[in-house]
């Protein structure tokens, strides 16, 4: 873990600045080198770390009857491989069923990933992160075959209310590892992607919610295509990260470290 100590904190503790702390409200934390079997085989169950209930941290649901589970790849770089026909989730239920805790308004999502194909299958069913029905938070590729284009969905969502989607252009390329941190908050929605020096703001109504989600695709059981990307790290906070914390998260992962070690 990285610690910051400032002169101000030492001389005037009452006026000490805010110190970034990525373990505070760390709802889920996944590092493939620690939390995956790394056996170069399909993985049907993963348990993430973090403060979330065990049910929420357990990913053992397959999405799409014709899709497979991702492979847990070992080597100099450990990661989950979503090859365009794979998905895994903690829930396929409709949002609002009550079994899974609902996060709302202040939500931060971070991924270290490598996008191998930016194509978004017909109907927009694929995604890096896709929720369940009646819940809004999701992250997927934007315009088909357009590297760096990301569609961010949020705002209120429930039966009869559709969420809001906005497209953001980033410097992410194809076949290269990059960190993406997205903060949904009424106090300001932000995305830090790739090597951007500072987060970019994006417009999104308040009320973004998340209750059960998966990687690769939606819950549509008839889909045949999913997102094509590799995932080495994932984290979810039930609060809005500060700008300093967004940058720190990227720096820690790019240095090969973990938030909880």
Rounded to the nearest 5°, which phi and psi values hold at 54?
Answer: -55, -40
Question: Does an H or E element contain 246, and which?
Answer: helix 243-254
C-alpha angle with apex 188: 185 to 189, nearest 5 degrees?
A: 70
**Whole-number Å distance between alpha carbons of 70 and 171:** 26
d(CA 135, CA 161): 10
Please, are residues 29 and 56 in contact by the beta-carbon 8 Å criterion?
A: no
164 to 97, 127, 144, 190, 193: CA distances (angstroms): 22, 16, 19, 15, 20
pLDDT in tens, 37-83: 999 999 999 999 999 999 999 999 999 888 999 999 999 999 999 99
State the burial class of residue 158 (Cβ atoms within 10 Å of its Cβ: 0-12, 13-18, 19+).
Answer: middle
Listed residue (214, 226, 181) closest to 46, CA to CA:
214
Rounded to two decimals, the pTM is: 0.91
- Return the pLDDT at 7: 45
Q: Confidence class of residue 238 from pLDDT cuts 50, 70 and 90?
A: very high
pLDDT in tens, 97-138: 778 999 999 999 999 999 999 988 766 789 999 999 889 999
* Residue 13 pLDDT: 55
Domains and their CATH numbers in the chain: 22-254 (2.60.120.200)
Answer yes or no: is pLDDT of 31 > 90: yes
Q: What pLDDT shows up at residue 6?
A: 44
């Amino acid at each position: 873990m990285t610690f910051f100590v400032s002169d101000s904190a030492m001389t005037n503790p009452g006026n000490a600045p805010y110190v970034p702390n990525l373990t505070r409200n760390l709802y889920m934390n996944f590092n493939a080198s620690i939390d995956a079997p790394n056996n170069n085989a399909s993985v049907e169950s993963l348990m993430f770390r973090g403060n979330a209930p065990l049910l929420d941290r357990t990913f053992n649901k397959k999405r799409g009857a014709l899709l497979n589970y991702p492979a847990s790849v070992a080597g100099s770089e450990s990661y989950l491989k979503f090859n365009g026909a794979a998905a895994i989730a903690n829930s396929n239920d409709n949002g609002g069923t009550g079994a899974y805790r609902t996060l709302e308004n202040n939500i931060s999502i971070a991924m270290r990933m490598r996008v191998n194909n930016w194509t978004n299958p017909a109907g927009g069913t694929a995604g890096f992160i896709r929720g369940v029905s009646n819940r809004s938070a999701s992250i997927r590729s934007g315009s088909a075959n357009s590297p760096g284009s990301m569609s961010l969905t949020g705002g209120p969502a429930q039966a009869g209310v559709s969420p809001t989607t906005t497209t953001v252009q980033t410097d992410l390329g194809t076949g290269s590892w990059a960190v993406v941190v997205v903060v949904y908050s009424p106090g300001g929605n932000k995305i830090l992607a790739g090597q951007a020096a500072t987060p970019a703001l994006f417009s999104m109504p308040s009320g973004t919610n998340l209750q059960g989600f998966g990687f690769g695709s939606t819950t549509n059981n008839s889909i045949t295509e999913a997102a094509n990307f590799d995932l080495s790290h994932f984290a979810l906070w039930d609060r809005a990260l500060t700008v300093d914390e967004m940058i720190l998260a990227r720096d820690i992962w790019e240095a090969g470290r973990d938030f909880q070690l």
